[in-house]
Amino acid sequence: MAEHISSHFHQELETVRSEVMRMGGLVEQQLQAVLAAFSTGSADGLSAVIEGDHAINALEVAIDDHCQTIIARRQPAAGDLRLVLAVSRIIVDLERMGDELKKIARMAHPLLAENRIAVGELYDTHRLAGMTASMIRRALDAFARLDAGALPDLNAADRHLDAGYRRQFRLLLSHMMEEPRQTGILLDVTMMNKRIERIGDHAKNIAEHVVYLVRGIDVRHRPPEAIRQDGLPDGDLSENIP
């Protein structure tokens, strides 16, 4: 009987991990639709991004409910408990990524549908969004592989994304001063860039949650230079995840 219960519990944990990857896949699909709109100048796929956000929200609620049920019925400890807690944090970041993508789609849709902006004017926004696509993929891969060493890579990528966002902000501000009639459009582009930058922050957060999952160390709010090259501060306090 004990072996049966243990086997069923293990299956529940694997189901939760699979649900997280499914949620991450939906976020990636939404981002790819936004990237396609930026590269083609067509607003056709953006309505699906706006309407599809409810599926990401529904998965967050379902996974969170599943995690609460596991805690209440199984009372997990050590690595199993860390997995459930890490999942509950990761799905919040994924849901917020979905929200940011929906907001980007809402701003971009009228710009593209009404031909108020040329594809070339979204080149840098497309480039920034492409950077976040790589970050999300790396973060989800780290979760799937239990790879705590992904954090330095994502910290570096996030710094690069932040620098790109700041450069674009200064450039767009300069354009607003030179072309006051374009201020509304340029403000929309600036806000889209900011939401892209926030998506990168959420991807980095996921890597931090993976460190907690694998090593039992909370590295949130620590400066990147305080983390060793393998993604961990000194003092590994954890057990390995079975």
pLDDT digits (tens, 9 = 90+) for 54-104: 999 999 999 999 999 999 988 887 889 999 999 999 999 999 999 999 999
Average pLDDT score over the chain: 89
| Residue from 95, 93, 107 nearest 207 by CA | 93
Residue 239 in any domain: the answer is: no
Q: Which residues contact residue 38 at a Cβ distance below 8 angstroms, ignoring those fewer than 6 apart?
A: 108, 119, 122, 125, 126, 129
Whether 237 maps to a domain, the answer reads no
Tell me the torsion sign for CA atoms 12, 16, 19, 25: negative
Cβ density class 85-119: b for 16+ within 10 Å, e for less: bbbbebbbbbbbbbbbbbbbbebbbebbeeeebee
Q: Is the dihedral of CA 16, 139, 197, 105 positive or negative?
A: negative
Rounded distance between C-alpha atoms, residue 181 and residue 14, angstroms:
54
First to last CA, the chain: 20
Is residue 80 included in any domain, yes or no? yes
pTM (two decimals): 0.88
User: Is residue 241 very low, low, confident or very high in pLDDT (cuts 50, 70, 90)?
Assistant: very low
What is the number of domains present in the chain? 1
Residue 235 lies in a domain: no
Residue 28 in any domain: the answer is yes
In a domain, 73, yes or no: yes
Q: What is the rounded distance in angstroms from the CA atom of residue 115 to the CA atom of residue 97?
A: 27
Specify the pLDDT at position 77.
Answer: 79
pLDDT digits (tens, 9 = 90+) for 124-161: 999 999 999 999 999 999 999 999 999 999 999 999 99
Q: Is residue 149 part of a domain?
A: yes
Q: Give a yes or no: residue 113 inside a domain.
A: yes
pLDDT for 234 beyond 90? no
- Helical H segments across 120-182, by residue range: 123-145, 151-178
* Domain at 148, CATH number: 1.20.58.220
Range of the domain at 72: 1-230
